[in-house]
Every structure is written in structure tokens, then in C-alpha cells.
Amino acid sequence: MNADVDGPLIAPTRRAVLIGAERYRRHSYGDNHPLGIPRVSLTLDLIQAYGALSEPEFRTARPAMPVELERFHTREYIGALQQCEAEGRVAHRYRQRHNVGNFENPFFPGFFTTPATATQGSIQGAEVVLEGLIAFNPAGGMHHARPDAARGFCYLNDPVLGILRLRREGLRVLYVDIDAHHGDGVEAAFRQDPEVLTLSLHMDTAYAYPFEGGGVGDAGPLDNAVNMPLPRGVHDDEYRHVFGRLWPAVLEAFRPAVVVLQAGTDILGPDPLGKFRISTQLFLEVVQRILADAPRHADGTPRLLVLGGGGYHPLALARCWTGVWGLLSGRELPEAVPPEGEALLRAVDWDLDEDEGYFERLFTQRVDHAISGEVRAEVRTRVDVLLSGHPWLRGRSRIR
């Protein structure tokens, strides 16, 4: 924690833990990569500028050990990442075999240790939930990684390893992925586990990464995947409609013991990679709904693990995840960004094609509000098709 940036403290009303590590401050994918921006460190600093984090609420992640990672990843892949990090370069034989050392998944100092830390954060987050608290690991959510390869900027699949920790306790897990991209790596990992259901709302892979899968009809061999591909240009009212119909249907049909939310912010309007136009206000409304409906511990605390994910607009991301932490910890944050927070955001080197009026508000307002959509009819039809066609949501699943 950075103890010298402190606004007046706002007390929490819910038992939640924020997981971070000092190493994210030095973390970089390199200047030319979409992830070469401050994310977790900026979020933590902004939260502290609001005075919205007390010492006991913060826990530090350490790098996961190979034996922990090998519960999902291959020993060969972990060994290769470690060797590349030690040698300061990616040997040619690993480039193709493990899809690292290229533009998509570049080498950078700490390219094993930093994802390993994010992964331990998600495993630790699962343990925090088992302790009876809500957990938020904003460095997590790297949902594309495969057992033996990096994919889509993701080296290690921390959501899978966090879910596996919960599965070791026999818990039935609902994984909800609201990142703009299909949560393909997590879905693939649990295709054969009827005690895990994955729900992903995402940009249709006909036009967006990973360019395959994630269709309405892609329910997997056990029907335990629910996929909602959406057209470009989805706005608040459309997303609210889709989520408002899918979420209760899935919750009711699956009855999980715990919910894991991947909260990538690339669905937000200004995101340079995402094609949706979701407001921060609606993003937080979705998180609030999940908080309200999630299964509960005996004392009423939601059984919820929240992970980060994509998000390529540093200012929109830091504001959004600050709002997420406010909800999880039960704090009413002021609408205005405090002066220390505004200074932090203004210090970020970022002015990518922003609309000028909007750009200024990014520094001063915590939340932006709804914008209306134009693809409503198409979105409604797609949800109808999913709800009426998904074997599992229609109540005739093989996994019940």
C-alpha cells in the first residue's frame, strides 16, 4: 500500500478484501502494447485518494509456485516461462510452441513472475471467500490463457486456478464474464466439470477476438456454457436488457454456492479495443445486481470473488474499478474525483482521440451515465434465441 496518499477515510459497511502487489507498479508489457498502461496501481492509488481502503482490507499477493500453477498449466509451459524470464529473452523454440515472445504476448521483465503473482492473487481471493469475505483481485481475470500457451495478452489463467481452489472445497461455481471478449480459456477448462457453469457476454467472435467460439449454440458437451455474443455498438439499455434476462435465468437454473465475476472494463464506451458503449454507471449497476443476488455466507456476506480482466483505457478503467471496490466494500463514494485523484489521473499519459468534453469529465467525475442504443431489436432477438434454445436454461439439461 502507498500510505502517503490518503483522503479522509470512508468506513466500509461490508467485509471485503482488496488484493494487490507492489510489483504491478513496475509492470509493463512495453510502450507499444495495449496493456502498456497503468491499471492496477492507478486503481489502487485512486481508491486511496478517495480514502476508501483501510489497512486490514488490503492483502498482498505473492508469486504462485509452479506446483500451484501446474494444477492447470503444463509443467513444460511453466518451465519455459521461467527459463525465458531468467534468460531475459524468449528462445526461438518457445515462440511457436507456447505463443510467447510475439506482439500479442510479448516478453518483458517479470513476464512470468508478474502473471504468477496475479494468479496467486486469484487463488488467495478464493481463500478469502472461503474465509467468509468478498474478494477483489483487479490484477486477475486473464481469461484467455491455455494450459500450455499464452493467448490474447494472457499468460496464466488465474480465473481457472481461482475456481479450482473453490472446487477443491466441493463448491458449485458460477463464473460470470462481462469482459468485452469471450471467456474462452475458462469455458474450455471446465467443459467436463458439471459443477461449474460459465456465463459470458461478449463481442460476437464473428468480428472480435478470439474469432471463434462463444456462439449462442456453443454450450459444450455438458451444456454448462452459456454464451451471449452481441453486435457492435451495444449501449446501456440493450446490455441492461440482456443481463437482466440472462442473470436470473442462470442463477435460478444452476443454483451456485459461489460466484466468480471477471470484471474486464473493455465494454466501457471509451475503450479503444472494445466495440460496446457501456457507461460506468451501468457497469456498476451490473456489479450491484450480482452482489445483491449472489449466494451468501451465514452473516449475509455475498459469496463473491471479483477479478479484473481487459480494459485498455486507463482512466475509464481506474474509475470503474474504484467504483467496483466501493460497491464491494459497501462505501458511498462521492461523485467528484478528489483533488489527489484528479492529479493522479491527469498525470497519466493518455489522450487517445477523446471527445474533448468527455475527456475533461474523466478527471473530475467518478461515473459517466447512460447513452441510448440503436441495436435493440437485434439484441432482443438474440436473447430470445439463447433462452429458448439453450438445453440447460430450458430445463432439460444433462447435468442437473
The DSSP output letter for 104 is S
Number of residues that bind Zn ion (CB under 5 A): 6
Edge-first strand listing for the sheet containing 134-137: 58-60, 16-20, 134-137, 304-307, 258-262, 173-177, 196-203, 225-230
Selected range binding Zn ion among 8-16, 97-105, 180-188, 317-325, rule: CB under 5 A: 180-188
Tell which positions 294-313 bind Zn ion, by CB under 5 A. Answer: 310
For Zn ion, the binding residue among 27, 167, 181, 182 (CB under 5 A) is 181
User: How near is the Cβ of 202 to Zn ion at its closest, in Å?
Assistant: 8
Phi and psi of 240, rounded to 5°?
Answer: -60, -40
- Determine, following the binding rule CB under 5 A, whether residue 127 of this chain makes contact with Zn ion: no
Q: Are 81 and 107 in contact (CB under 8 A)?
A: no
CB-nearer residue toward Zn ion: 109 or 272: 272
Selected range binding Zn ion among 91-99, 112-120, 162-170, 171-179, rule: CB under 5 A: 171-179
What is the number of other CB atoms lying within 10 angstroms of the CB of residue 111? 22
| Closest to 211 in 3D by CA, of 159, 268, 144 | 144
- Given the residues 98, 144, 181, 313, the one annotated as active site: 144
- Determine, following the binding rule CB under 5 A, whether residue 266 of this chain makes contact with Zn ion: yes
- Compute the distance between CA of residue 180 and CA of residue 357 in angstroms, rounded to an integer: 25
Tell which positions 304-363 bind Zn ion, by CB under 5 A. Answer: 310
- Compute the distance between CA of residue 61 and CA of residue 118 in angstroms, rounded to an integer: 7
User: How near is the Cβ of 276 to Zn ion at its closest, in Å?
Assistant: 11
3-state helix, strand and coil shares in percent for the chain, rounded to the nearest 5: 40, 15, 50
- Determine, following the binding rule CB under 5 A, whether residue 204 of this chain makes contact with Zn ion: no
- Residues contacting 109, CB < 8 A, separation 6+: 85, 88
User: How near is the Cβ of 295 to Zn ion at its closest, in Å?
Assistant: 26
- Determine, following the binding rule CB under 5 A, whether residue 177 of this chain makes contact with Zn ion: no
Q: Are 234 and 382 in contact (CB under 8 A)?
A: no
Element (H, E) at 272: none
CB-nearer residue toward Zn ion: 98 or 202: 202
For Zn ion, the binding residue among 49, 135, 164, 180 (CB under 5 A) is 180
User: How near is the Cβ of 223 to Zn ion at its closest, in Å?
Assistant: 25
User: How near is the Cβ of 360 to Zn ion at its closest, in Å?
Assistant: 26
Active site residue 144: yes
Element (H, E) at 307: strand 304-307
- Determine, following the binding rule CB under 5 A, whether residue 223 of this chain makes contact with Zn ion: no
For Zn ion, the binding residue among 68, 179, 223, 271 (CB under 5 A) is 179
- Determine, following the binding rule CB under 5 A, whether residue 264 of this chain makes contact with Zn ion: yes
Give residues in contact with Zn ion (CB under 5 A): 179-181, 264, 266, 310
Active site residues: 144
